[in-house]
Amino acid sequence: MPSLSHAPWGAAAAVVTLGWGAGYLLWQPDPPGEFGAYFDLELPKVTLALGGPLAGVAGLLLGREGVLRSAGHAVLALTCLVLAYLASFAFFGGFCLDPGEACITTWPSRLAELGAAVACLAAGWIVHGCAGRFRNRST
């Protein structure tokens, strides 16, 4: 009976957080000045729509044994990369050309994106735990 290891999920959360931080360094958002800031929830919605199902499938597969468990690690790695990539765009608000344009995301929207990505991983971890308990009870 394999144990429900938390390490892969913790590592995935760390990589997603690093991706979010890399987005800050990459896009280097300026404080609102001549350009306006806006609150945006579109990226967190996309993150939940893509990352949630991927993390859920990873959790289901990681709750199995053998080849399916190995496939679960591959799906978790894919989920981690997708979520880290999406999280890096939390700081991108668009390209400002004219003064007065709103092209800087606010900190609440940036934190909402990180929260959405971590919530996807948390949901996958919960599915993993439930799948492992169900498998152990049925044998």
Is residue 1 classed exposed, middle or buried when 0-12, 13-18 and 19+ CB atoms within 10 A define those classes? exposed
In the structure encoding, which two tokens stand for residue 76, read together?
């978790």
Residue 11 inside a domain? The answer is no
- What is the mean predicted confidence (pLDDT) over 19-35? 82
The number of folded domains in the chain is 1
Residue 82 inside a domain? The answer is yes
Q: Name the pTM for this structure.
A: 0.86
In the structure encoding, which two tokens stand for residue 72, read together?
């679960």
Residue 78 inside a domain? The answer is yes
Tell whether the model's pLDDT for residue 17 goes beyond 50.
yes
In the structure encoding, which two tokens stand for residue 9, read together?
């999920």
Tell whether the model's pLDDT for residue 3 goes beyond 80.
no
- Predicted confidence at residue 1, as pLDDT, reads 41
Residue 1 inside a domain? The answer is no
Residue 131 inside a domain? The answer is yes
Tell whether the model's pLDDT for residue 33 goes beyond 80.
no
Question: How far is residue 63's CA from residue 6's CA, in Å, rounded to a whole number?
Answer: 12
- Predicted confidence at residue 40, as pLDDT, reads 85
Question: How far is residue 30's CA from residue 45's CA, in Å, rounded to a whole number?
Answer: 24
Structural domain of 102: 40-138
